Structure 1
Amino acid sequence: MSTPLLRPRDHAEAVALFRAEVIGALTRRELDRGELAAALRALAQQRLRPPGSTTTRQVAVSTLERWYYAYRAGGLDALKPRPRSDRGRARALTAEQRALLLDVRREHPTASAPVILRTLVADGRLPRGAVSVSTVTRLYREAGLERGERPDGHTRLRWAAEHPGALWHGDVCHGPSLRDGKTTKPLRIHALLDDASRFVVALEAHHREREVDMFGLFLRALRRHGAPGALYLDNGSTYRGDALRVACERLGVTLLHARPGDAPARGKMERFWRTLRAGCLDHLGALTSLHDVQARLIAFLDAHYHVAPHGGLMGRTPTEAWVRAKHTALDENALSAALTVRSRRRVRKDGTVDVDGTAWQLDQGFLAGRVVTVAVDMTGAELPSVEHEGRRYLLRTVDAVAASRTRRARRTPPAQPTVPFDPAGALLDRVAGRPPRHRPEED
């Protein structure tokens, strides 16, 4: 039979053992005058990690000296930390302050202790520096009003979409920065996750977090897998633009946004991010390009995540759950029609018109200076076009170099006027006192 491991009884004994290990060697030596102070100063320069801590720190000479004499007087028990008599109770609060803090938490259960304290100090209801965040936190813990408690009796239930394709989650994960020489660029992983099957319908690496990036990801997933019944996104401004909203409405997809501050509602997406970090993102090393990151993301999905049994799927893999469902592909023409955006633009005198910051050339010169309707197919299937008075004219990319080499027809000089007309000359004749150059015919 194996011998059980001998461990400290509790945290207090673990702390006492740590302190004894630090100063124990000094207690067994015969020290001459001045040697103890020198030894304690040397110990104070070392970085130590107390039990339960994840970081190292230095211990003051006065603290080491107190441990030394306590150990010599009472042994290991004397080194155990003594709990405060008022442990677990909020201190330094008057009855009025306690009532105020408790009332605020009851009416605003999602506000954190730092936010509550900062707000009450800012509006003058609590004096600055009189109450600490830890005191407020202990008060709420004592009263059973820790953050997130819902006094209205709301109960969170585990939920799932009825079938694969009914609901997609969309989100962005911040990965480690990519360093290329002296240049550092951020890494943002965009993903779409099917709720019922946990199958990742799209996963891409980008440098930025914009609506256009999520829109492109959504478009590519639509082409591969068809449209979901609903799209569930975060509440951030990135997902509140018109492009996603209009696209979902035209395609019959219900667009949902999570409530602010309700992270547990996004639990499936967060669980996937943890899996991706542990199996891929935390081990990217010295990669410098999005291409290298994307290759590893695809390998992680195809060789591990999609083919590994999932606890939330009763042991099935995401691929098995996904392929059993029926997915209807979208017609490309219908997709193009739904994702065509129209806007009004004025054509410049050189026949160019701007579309999302890019200049396009219009060959129909008679439209220069006019306000026209520009139609842009967000799927990229066709070039932008101009719609004007029932007719459609395709735009082309601007090539300034080619335009400089284009031979243009020489303009015919204007014909000489047959009717004399010289306003300045008439004024000059008047000032000089000369008779008019032309006299009206007498009747």
Structure 2
Amino acid sequence: MPIPSLEVRLRVLAAVDAAQGATVRERIKQVSQQSFTCHQSNHVFKFTWRTISTWVYRYKKDGITTLEKKTRADKNAQRKVQVSELAEALSEVLPSLSANKVGVVPKSTIYRVLLARNYFTRAQLAPTTFYRFVREHELLDLESTNKLRMAFAMLHANELWQGDTMHGPAIKQPDGKYKKTFLIAFIDDASRLITHAEFFYRDDTQNMINAFRTALYKRGKPERLYFDNGANYTAKEILQACVRLDIRLSHAPVRDGAAKGKIERFFRGFRDRFLVMHTEFSSLETLNQLAQAWVEDEYNSKLHSAIQMTPLDRFNLDYRRIQYLPNNEFTEEVFFIEEERKVSKVNVFSINSNKFECPVDLRGKTVQVRYDRSVRDRFIVYYKDQRMGDAMPLNLYLNAQLAREHKDD
């Protein structure tokens, strides 16, 4: 029997979320009666409730990365910090350090600098492990270090984006109170380009979606995303958008900042080189204007020591590979949440305690309804992945009038 693809498994999870039932167990039982067709192989799958329960548990515990049951790639290896990650950090730290009288930089000094600059914690990289890695892999040799660093980096722009959120400065409001801000940013792994960075007053799913949508329009579609396990980055809208755009989504291990080293190092530089230059900001709009100007002029357009060119120039080397999103209905609705609904015999379905009429005759069918959670003013009906159109609010009075006129005719 063929192995179900990741897309099929995500659709099963989405079906559980949208199913009727007072408990998760009831919803899983209901979904176990459904069939799911793989769009690539056209194979029809049905899954037992125990299988679906396992997927739901794994996803809630550790995220989408655990849907694929496989042997760890790092089995029998040191798991907290990989050699390639250490090589990446050393390539940035070593040029800033001076040799002693005998012409070497003490390894103990290098280790303390790595901890002080928040590349790793002592729990992630013990001194004995650091010394062993340096000795076995000749990490203080620039050529060896660069080879390992390049093995860790992606080869092309938009192969992988890292994304994360940073606490920003508080802004004084008209009522005299201060309001926290949050910076949501995305970095391209190969070029180190910041594809988009924006401050918001709330660290929530809707703002995450707004920032990610802007990044996609500005820099094109990445092949992979690497996020942490925060609620914003594991939201249903993000999962569904990645399936629709054919983007592979994975999540960093819990409390493992080193796994997102590039975006974390950008945040550190952003604090040290931008935020320290400003005592306060008059408004969120002003903060974003200044921050985005700094990102484009002082970061994306300046020489980056790790790649020995500007991030923008490195990103543009792969311009033929960039896939920009078309400006059409599909793109507009990519981040809409989707729920399945059963259409009644009179071509009506219910959602959010309201009744709507399907745009075409879909009586007795199970349809997918997409809508913007933050607005909920439009409900678009899809059937078998085909867009059917906008649903109309049920108007019993108008329907009765039309029926009467038809009868009179």
Q: TM-score, normalised by structure 2?
A: 0.51
Partner of 1:280: 274
Question: Stretches of 4+ moved more than 6 A in 1?
Answer: 150-154, 387-391
* 2:379 alignment counterpart: 384
- Specify the alignment match of 1:323 in structure 2: 316
Greater RCO, 1 or 2 (C-alpha within 8 Å, sep 6+): 2
Pick from 338, 341, 347 the counterpart of residue 342 of structure 1.
338
Counterparts in 2 of 1:317 and 1:241: CA distance versus 1, 3 Å: same
- The separation in 1 between residues aligned to 2:178 and 2:349, in whole angstroms, is 37
Q: Is the 8 A contact 1:169 1:233 kept in 2?
A: yes
Q: Deviations over 1:75-122 (max 9, x none)?
A: xxxxxxxxxxxxxxxxxxxxxxxxxxxxxxxxxx98xxxxxxxxxxxx
Aligned partners of 2:252 and 2:259 also within 8 Å:
yes
Q: Is the aligned partner of 1:209 residue 2:185?
A: no
Assess, with a 3 A threshold, how the Cα gap between structure 1 residues 248 and 386 changes in structure 2: closer, same or farther. closer
Q: Does 1:270 align with 2:264?
A: yes
Correspondence for 1:101: none
Q: Distance in 2 between matches of 1:340 and 1:295?
A: 28
Contact 1:229 1:252 in 2 (8 A): yes
144, 148, 154: which one pairs with 2:124? 148
1:394 matched to 2:387? The reply is no
Larger Rg, first or second structure (1 or 2): 1
Separation in structure 1 between the aligned mates of residue 387 and residue 192 of structure 2, nearest angstrom: 47
Is the contact between residue 361 and residue 397 of structure 1 (CA under 8 Å) also seen in structure 2?
yes
Q: How does 1:92-131 map to 2 (within 5 A)?
A: none
Give deviations 1:256-283, integer Å, cap 9, x for gaps.
2112232222221111111211232334
Aligned counterparts of 1:250 and 1:176: Cα–Cα separation in 2:
35
Unaligned 5+ segments in structure 1 are: 1-108, 111-145, 413-443
Q: State the distance in 1 between where 2:172 and 2:387 align.
A: 50
RMSD: 4.7
Deviation at 1:391, TM superposition (A): 10
Aligned pair partner of 1:170 in 163, 168, 171:
163
Please point out which of 211, 227, 231 is paired with 2:221: 227
Q: Residues 277 and 337 from structure 1, CA distance in 2 versus in 1: closer, same or farther, beyond 3 angstroms? A: closer
1:69 corresponding residue in structure 2: none
Structure 2 CA distance for partners of 1:215 and 1:155, relative to 1, 3 Å:
farther
The residue number in structure 2 matching 1:197 is: 191
User: Whole-Å Cα distance in 2 between the matches of residues 353 and 199 of structure 1?
Assistant: 45
1: CA distance between counterparts of 2:393 and 2:192?
42
Classify the secondary structure of the residue corresponding to 1:310. Answer: coil
Return the offset for 1:340.
5.5
Provide the rounded CA distance (Å) in 1 between the counterparts of 2:289 and 2:297. Answer: 12
Instruction: State the 1:189 CA deviation.
Output: 0.4
Percentage of matched positions with identical amino acids: 25
Aligned residues: 258
Secondary structure, aligned partner of 2:191: coil
Seen in structure 2, the aligned counterparts of structure 1 residues 372 and 199 have a Cα distance that, compared at 3 Å, is same
Gaps of 5+ in 2: 1-78, 81-121, 135-147, 405-409
